[in-house]
Amino acid sequence: MTATAELVRSLFIPIHEVNLVLPGALVAEVVPYMEPAPAQDAVPDWFLGSIVWREQRIPLVSVDALVTGADAVSGARVRIAVLKAVASGPELNYYAIVMRGLPRLVSVSPGTVEGLGENLSEGPAVAAEVLANGEPAIIPDVDYIEAQINAVLNP
């Protein structure tokens, strides 16, 4: 296997004081922030409601609140990343996350990702904290995040 075969096109997605690092294949689209329709029932703070994307209603979540415990964000630089659901059943094909600016395309390989000895961000939504290409980043536990979204959508 060559070194180029091990490269994974990824995105640094800015959240509270750190970046999420996600494979580019998970990100369907980046769109301007739009105000979500509120949820009908009592929901956790990280579940912001739903937005209409490509003529379908999808959940909008604050990964800031879910992963780092920070408040959800708003403002001129806020964007939404629409993600493809990977671990969920057929009822959740896509969901959206709020991010604090524009994502950056990066290429990562096993040699450019180094695990940090201790997780600074507590909680089950964090799979690992790493240095990716020399920058601190969080690898989110998308299985956990999608399970939490499903729990809200299907109580």
Collect all residues with Cβ–Cβ distance below 8 Å to 6 and sequence separation of at least 6: 109, 110, 111
Of 63, 61, 57, the closest CA to residue 48 belongs to 61
Predicted TM-score (pTM) above 0.85: yes
| Structural domains of the chain, count | 1
Average pLDDT, the chain: 86
Confidence band for 89, pLDDT divided at 50, 70 and 90: low
Task: Provide the 3-class DSSP secondary structure of residue 150.
Answer: helix
User: What secondary structure does DSSP assign to 110-128, as a single string?
Assistant: GGGEEE-SS-SS-STTEEE
* Tokens standing for residue 23: 């494979």
**What pLDDT score does 1 carry?**
40
> Which pLDDT tens digit goes with each residue over 21-43?
999 999 999 999 999 999 888 88
**What pLDDT score does 5 carry?**
54
* Tokens standing for residue 108: 């990562």
> Which pLDDT tens digit goes with each residue over 101-128?
899 999 988 888 888 766 555 678 888 8
DSSP, res 72: P
Task: Confirm if 86 and 26 have CB atoms less than 8 A apart.
Answer: yes
Name which of 1-15, 18-32, 54-68, 136-150 the model is least confident about. Answer: 1-15
* Tokens standing for residue 137: 């980043």
Q: Domain span at residue 61?
A: 3-153
Average pLDDT over residues 85-114: 87
Average pLDDT over residues 65-86: 82
